[in-house]
Structure 1
């Protein structure tokens, strides 16, 4: 009978040393064997939440090359270890089995789409940007004044982008020599 009663947390709490029920009295056999996802992390990387412009700090726990947990960074002066529901779920952004890892691409004049690996698509984009920049580069204008620019590359940012994304896009396109850099919010 006592063995059967010992399975009840309330009985263990009343008869054992954990009277407040804050420790072993309320643990089941299963919960005693559970370990935190952060306990065996080989590496902890600091990052910033990707969802909005607040810039909440995150700690990313990695084991065997796989992200095991993402939680708020208590060292962050912005979020002080807290994350909103979207930030708390950001692990799903990178580890979800439904995450797209391929790019759908339709070649010029083709009628069907094909799947390309993301790395291949990124290389194709980089090659096209470099080729366009080289082909349309202007050292001087019509009057002979130095301009060091390209008019073959332009950017139109969207209002859905946050300040940090717009800032980085502006830096990238300026470094490429583009002069047509605009944002939907200004138009």
Structure 2
């Protein structure tokens, strides 16, 4: 490679000798960056979605290739967010594809030292039995003065911010219908 050709690879040289005097275009572009293409260009399809984290409802575009999510970005056509996402919304791909996401039901029995895998039906039956038992044991029909209460003090709910609005809404409705009073959410605390 000749000296002139070698110096021509320097961005400052291209900036001073070319038409891109401010170094905002081709002068600043390396050979590597010139060959890059967006990962969304290789997607088989794009699905419209909504960010699951808060009540704003930012629109998202979910890019799918070979039935796997490859990218999630804000939807610029959305009148709500105009293509912008907060840090949590920008990281929502890891909620779906992260290696830390559990794919099976794990259970550790009382005094157990290891987790066991359970089938979903068994786990759901265990949860339902325990909720109904706690409700029955903590049920209060009336107080000491005879006032009607119809509530349970046997359990409480603390919702998390990783759940979406619909999940938190349904959990609130479920626990209210079961007679629970202590229903709270992490986002409000």
Residues 102 and 115 of structure 1 are in contact (CA less than 8 Å); yes or no, is this contact kept in structure 2? no
What is the TM-score with the length of structure 2 in the denominator? 0.65
Q: Counterpart of 1:68 in 2: which secondary structure? A: strand
Q: Counterpart of 1:91 in 2: which secondary structure? A: helix
**Aligned: 1:98 with 2:100:** yes
* Structure 1 position 31, deviation (Å): 0.7
1:8-157 maps to which residues of 2 (within 5 A)?
8-106=10-108, 111-116=112-117, 120=119, 122-126=120-124, 156-157=156-157
* Structure 1 position 168, deviation (Å): 2.3
Residue in structure 1 matched with residue 133 of structure 2 by the alignment: none
Per-residue CA deviations over 1:108-159 (Å, capped at 9, x if unaligned) read x783433427xx3x33344567899xxxxxxxxxxxxxxxxxxxxx984325
* Structure 1 position 30, deviation (Å): 0.9
Relative contact order (alpha carbons < 8 A, sep ≥ 6): 1 or 2 greater? Answer: 2
Equivalents in 2 of 1:40, 1:18: separation in Å? 31
Gaps of 5+ in 2: 131-153, 185-189
Cα separation, partners in 2 of 1:160 and 1:98, compared to 1, 3 Å: closer
* Structure 1 position 83, deviation (Å): 0.9
Residue in structure 2 matched with residue 147 of structure 1 by the alignment: none
Equivalents in 2 of 1:78, 1:181: separation in Å? 35
Residues 59 and 73 of structure 1 are in contact (CA less than 8 Å); yes or no, is this contact kept in structure 2? yes
Residues 52 and 165 of structure 2 are in contact (CA less than 8 Å); yes or no, is this contact kept in structure 1? no
What is the TM-score with the length of structure 1 in the denominator? 0.65
Cα separation, partners in 2 of 1:11 and 1:76, compared to 1, 3 Å: same
Q: Counterpart of 2:40 in 1: which secondary structure? A: coil
* Structure 1 position 170, deviation (Å): 4.9
1:165-180 maps to which residues of 2 (within 5 A)?
165-170=167-172, 179-180=178-179
Gaps of 5+ in 1: 133-153
Equivalents in 1 of 2:100, 2:129: separation in Å? 34
Cα separation, partners in 2 of 1:77 and 1:182, compared to 1, 3 Å: farther
